[in-house]
Amino acid sequence: MTTTNRIERHHYDVVVIGAGGAGLRAAIEARLAGKKTAIISKSLFGKAHTVMAEGGAAAAMGNVNSRDNWQVHFRDTMRGGKFLNNFRMAELHAKESPQRIWELETYGALFDRTKDGKISQRNFGGHEYPRLAHVGDRTGLELIRTLQQKIVSLQQEDKAELGSYDARIKVFDETTITELLLDGEKVAGAFGYYRESGEFILFEAPAVVLATGGVGRSYKVTSNSWEYTGDGHALALRAGATLINMEFLQFHPTGMVWPPSVKGILVTESVRGDGGVLKNSDGKRFMFDYVPDVFRKQYAETEEEADRWYTDPDNNRRPPELLPRDEVARAINSEVKAGRGTPAGGVYLDIASRRSAEEIRRRLPSMYHQFKELADVDITKEPMEVGPTCHYVMGGVEVDPDSGAAFGSVRGLFAAGEVSGGMHGSNRLGGNSLSDLLVFGKRAGGHAASYTDQLTVRPKVAIGAVEAAVETALAPLQRDTGESPYQLQQDLQVVMGDLVGIIRREGELADALGRLAELRERVAKVSAVGGRRYNPGWHLALDLRNMLVVSECTAKAALERQESRGGHTREDFPAMDPMWRRVNLVCSLNGDAVRLAHKPLPKMRSELIGLFDRAELAKYLTDEELADFDALVSDADAEEAGN
Amino acid sequence: MGTKRHFRVWRGDDSGGDLQDYQVEVNEGEVVLDIIHRLQATDAPDLACRWNCKAGKCGSCSMEINGMPKLGCMTRMSTFEENETVTVTPLRTFPIIRDLVTDVSFNYEKARETPAFAPPAGVAPGDYRMQQVDVERSQEFRKCIECFLCQNTCHVIRDHDENKHAFAGPRYFIRAAELDMHPLDTRTDRREYAQAEQGLGFCNITKCCTEVCPEHIKITDNGIIPMKERVVDRRYDPLVWLGSKIFRRGQVPQTFVTSAKHGDAVHSHVAHGGVHSHAGDSHDPAAEAEAQAGVNWHREVPRPTAPAVDDNGRLPLTELTFDRAAAPSPFGDDVTFPLPPEHLNFAHPEQDKH
């Protein structure tokens, strides 16, 4: 075929797919390691979904409460993830996030300050101490802009030194990767298209970092943008990597449910951290009824105690509105199902009656602004209507915790951020994703760079694979008998939203798998009208197969896991089962079919498990594991006595 | 429950195009971007339009709605009359790619030219100390979502492609202001840079940028005007003025950004001319030629400056402290006559067809 001759080719050391927080941080690190680095962005530079993160970035800097440290952060993260987290990732994350945040200040970030001039930190659901570095409620924007500007400053250095901004780091904006290309088991490059022209582009590179974010566009009600089609998950699968924890999706407890045009847009948890309370249609502050036993000790039992906490957190327990996200989402769901919801199917989030208008505007400026502009609702005067929204996927590429290198058969593939799995276990704490991006973005970028150093031969792209990729990409434009990609996406969203949503049942999940199989046939025949220039219909048609395979992973894993934990709630298995805590469900691709395997969780190192109370561990661990823990403790005691 | 509404959407590419009519369903509580999405799902699957967050946070879906630069996701349908036709067109200032998508690379080029944050030497990460009140001024500008509506609406470049070379636009003026006000930024020439390199002088403060800003950043009042004022302060500070005299025809002081690195005579002239509007020392042939060709209405016309009087309403100088004999010139001491023609605010009626 002659088409491959005309494809634009680029040679890079490291190609980073995704230009959100993780991708940009990885690219900075690869460039600092001296590697020629490309950043591929599906949107314009600086528009990534990271901008949506409002609350902050969790890092145990101890600026507000000096008792905070990495051990406490680690504990909170494991607790939030219901102990299913990869402990090593949680450990690295807790230890390194303060440095990653401070580093941003050297790039020019301007966080809100404490009185003594340090970075201010705010309370957030699931975090024991005020821990989230923030900028009003636009922390994600600050983070992306800071990283974007750091990249520009590196480009300026390169321009001064080498005469070109793009000499060592180049951003390919509005470019989508459709295929990873391998040489045997080694990554050799990536193939994609410019959205603007529809022309194809081939990157030859020995190392690829996936930082493509999540999968939320497969759901009806979602806070995610159009880009979140699971590209990185699907690329990894097709390249021979594995996915873990795909059954765990976070439904943000408080997305807007009214008006319809903004359904799914999130109301930051800091509204609750700053005093907002949840009420049902009877006006009752219902969260007190939903405190699970494992959290009973840390949360207030009366409204009076809860209200005192805002000013005196050391002597009072936290309000139950600050329970982890999954608990709040489930509570809202139960209230709505019991007929105590709002007309639009949510509950009320009320801050108007609890804080002065001026204070609300100062503490939640963009929230106030957003509601005023989008919905003509004044949150200083009336309550908001909120409900659960698909927000974040905990599952993702199974990676080596230290390097971010993908497991499975592939070499030279790295993943960081939402597209990687394990860090957050079954449920992510608010604020942990922004710091996750930075910590593991840096690690993945750095390790991708050193991986290229130890290669003796540069992997080669096979022409046949490029030809196949071209054919696959053009297919929807050449068919005119298939269905519209928009219709197919809508159908997929209905299946996932209705059958693999926040509350799951065996029958529905089995039904979903059947429907996904039907959809797979239809998607294989999808056709897009129009030409190759900036044709969103065509782009969606190409994204669909990614969404589909990732949805299959989620549905399969959700059917397999017979318990409820974090972001996976089975109505037929409502309790946590310690046996299931020891298992990760690993998805891989066998031809076209998704294969599911059980894999034991790595065992936590003794000094880490020693950070927990036995009473707490008893809620999560099996008897066998508890016996191990007891033996450990008595060994330590004996040692101490011996000294 | 939706009603049918009349939409006109510009369809086409760089070779041309026109407004196309659509009758499309509109439901309560929807915004213009919802309607564009409905068109994509029904009548026009290949209708090109940028969008991401649909919450006014990413600044992707900039478009012109009934001629007004706006975000599609932030324009509620309820703001239009029941039977009003809604006309949606791409941003006019930037080249068309297709339909509602324009080539905004101009902005990214200007971003790359703006010198980055210069961190303080010797302050370790984690040791940065700043007061909230000091960071807030810069934080206002960091709210910017880069929707480029201000760039699109700015008349200096909206219908004057030729100015794009020398003019960075409001977005990058506030970037310069943000860094200028950053408590720990170590560069001291942000304002001079804005004036000399970004074309701050082209701006004549019509505030259109502020008006269209979806983040309600006071671009003009809090960003551009303080930058201009400080440039003026420096120029009229006697010491700085004296310094500039000393350095005038030789080397510029180190804090001053030179235009020379562009190696582009026209550009450096335009930018430079903006600073020293009345300096009277630019009798170079290129400037003369340009002045003959017509008046550049976007050049800086110096704002009237109050005399630098003290609390008693008198000039704070005597012949003893003044650096020359006799009284200062009523036109300003840095003005020499005759004024170069490009600094005259006069267009010959015969030539005024530019």
Residue B282 has a pLDDT of 43
State whether CATH 1.10.1060.10 applies to domain B105-343: yes
Residue B256's pLDDT is what? 40
Confidence of residue A366 (pLDDT cuts 50, 70, 90): confident
pLDDT tens track for B204-235: 899 999 999 999 999 999 999 999 887 666 65
Calculate ∠ Cα A101-A131-A276, nearest 5°. Answer: 130
> What pLDDT score was predicted for residue A329?
81
pLDDT in tens, A15-55: 999 999 999 999 999 999 999 999 999 999 999 999 988 88
Decide if A561 contacts A572 (C-beta within 8 A). no
Q: Which ranges constitute the DSSP H helices of A392-535?
A: 432-453, 463-478, 485-499, 506-524
* Domain encompassing residue A627: 606-642
Inside any domain, residue A509: no
Q: How far is A318 from A128, CA to CA, in rounded Å?
A: 9
pLDDT band at B251 (very low <50, low <70, confident <90, very high): very low
Distance from the first to the final alpha carbon of chain A:
76
Burial class (CB in 10 A: 0-12, 13-18, 19+), B145: buried
Is A303 part of any domain?
yes
Question: B158 and chain A: CB distance < 8 Å anywhere?
Answer: no
Quick one: average pLDDT of A89-99? 98
What is the nearest CA distance from B116 to chain A, expressed in angstroms?
A: 5
Nearest to B201 by CA among B141, B279, B264, B318: B279
Q: Cα–Cα distance between B74 and B62 in angstroms, integer?
A: 10
* Range with the poorest average pLDDT among A377-391, A506-520, B174-188: A377-391
Beta bridge partners of A191: A179, A202
Q: Is the CB of residue A350 less than 8 Å from the CB of residue A303?
A: no
The arithmetic mean of pLDDT across residues A287-298, rounded, is 90
Active-site hit among A31, A93, A252, A317:
A252
- Quick one: average pLDDT of B153-161? 92
- H helical segments located in B82-237: 105-113, 132-142, 149-153, 155-158, 170-181, 190-196, 208-212, 225-236
% chain A with pLDDT above 90: 78
Here the tokens at position A502 are 């926040």
Q: Which residues of B touch A533 (CB under 8 A)?
A: 13, 48, 97-98
Of residues A261, A370, A535, nearest to B30 (C-beta): A261
Give B40's contacts in chain A (Cβ within 8 Å): 486, 536-537
Quick one: which of A452, A381, A384 has its CA closest to A414? A452
Give me the pLDDT at residue A273, please: 84
Q: Is the pLDDT of residue B262 over 60?
A: no
CA distances to A552, B178, B205 from B141, rounded to whole Å, are: 44, 6, 17
DSSP assignment letter at A103 = H
A113–B131 CB contact, under 8 Å: yes
Three-class SS of residue A516? helix
With an 8 Å Cβ cutoff, are A153 and B30 in contact?
Answer: no
ipTM here? 0.86
User: Would you kindly state where each structural domain of chain B is located, as residue ranges?
Assistant: 3-102, 105-343
Q: Does A643 touch chain B (CB under 8 A)?
A: no
* Contact (Cβ atoms closer than 8 angstroms) between residue A14 and residue A432: no
Tokens for A615, please give them.
């009473």
Domain boundary among A338, A373, A391: A391
Name the residue facing A47 among B13, B27, B52 (closest C-beta). B52
Cβ–Cβ of A49/B52 closer than 8 Å? yes
With CB atoms and an 8 Å threshold, state whether B46 touches A375. Answer: no
Helices and strands counted in chain A (H then E): 19, 23
- Looking at the DSSP assignment, which residues form a beta bridge with residue B86? B7
Q: CA of A495 to nearest chain B CA: how many angstroms apart? A: 18
Q: Do B99 and A259 touch (CB under 8 A)?
A: no
What's the number of CA atoms in the CB half-sphere (13 Å) around residue A52? 24
Give the residue-averaged pLDDT of A379-396.
90
Q: Is residue A481 part of a domain?
A: no
pLDDT of residue A334: 84
Contact A25, A147 (CB under 8 A): yes
Element (H, E) at A24: helix A21-32
Question: In one letter, which amino acid is A408?
Answer: G
Under 8 Å between Cβ of B86 and B65? yes
Residue of A nearest to B184 (CA): A108
pLDDT score at B276 = 34
Domain boundary among the residues A365, A391, A417 is at A391
Contact at CB, B52 and A262, closer than 8 angstroms: no
Q: Is residue A287 part of a domain?
A: yes
User: What's the rounded mean pLDDT across residues A167-193?
Assistant: 97
**3-state DSSP call for residue B269?**
helix
Tens-place pLDDT, residues B34-70: 999 999 999 999 999 999 988 888 999 999 999 999 9
Question: How many structural domains comprise chain A?
Answer: 2
Read off the pLDDT of each residue in A59-65 and give the average, rounded to a whole number. 96
pLDDT band at B334 (very low <50, low <70, confident <90, very high): low
Q: Could you give the C-alpha distances from A633 to A75, A621, A623, A627, B234, in angstroms and in order?
A: 18, 15, 15, 10, 70
CATH code matching the domain that covers B3-102, chosen among 3.40.1390.20, 3.10.20.30, 1.10.1060.10, 3.40.50.150: 3.10.20.30
pLDDT in tens, A101-147: 999 999 999 999 999 999 999 998 889 999 999 998 899 999 999 99
| Per-residue model confidence (pLDDT) at position A336 | 84
Active site includes A93?
A: no
Rounded average pLDDT over A74-103: 97
Residue A345: give its domain's CATH number. 3.90.700.10
Residue that is last in its domain, among A391, A423, A452: A391
User: What's the confidence (pLDDT) of residue A338?
Assistant: 87
In the numeric block, which tokens belong to residue B296? Answer: 């550049």
* Contact (Cβ atoms closer than 8 angstroms) between residue A306 and residue A287: no
Residue B252 has pLDDT above 60, yes or no: no
Hey, which residues 219-258 in chain B have their CB within 8 Å of chain A? none
More confident position, A311 or A578: A578
What is the reported pLDDT for B342?
Answer: 65
- Long-range (24+ apart) CB contacts under 8 A made by A302-308 are none
Strand partners, B98: B13, B101
Q: Which residues of A touch B135 (CB under 8 A)?
A: 110-113
Provide the pLDDT for residue B333: 61
What secondary structure letter does DSSP report for B314? Answer: S
Report the mean per-residue pLDDT for chain A.
Answer: 93
Which whole number is the average pLDDT over B63-92? Answer: 94
Question: A563: which DSSP letter?
Answer: S
Output the pLDDT for position A225: 85
Tokens 């671009």 locate to B219
User: Which pLDDT band, with edges at 50, 70 and 90, does B279 fall under?
Assistant: very low
Distance CA B94, CA B115 (A): 24
Residue A581 has pLDDT above 60, yes or no: yes
Q: Is A252 a catalytic residue?
A: yes
> DSSP code of A612?
S
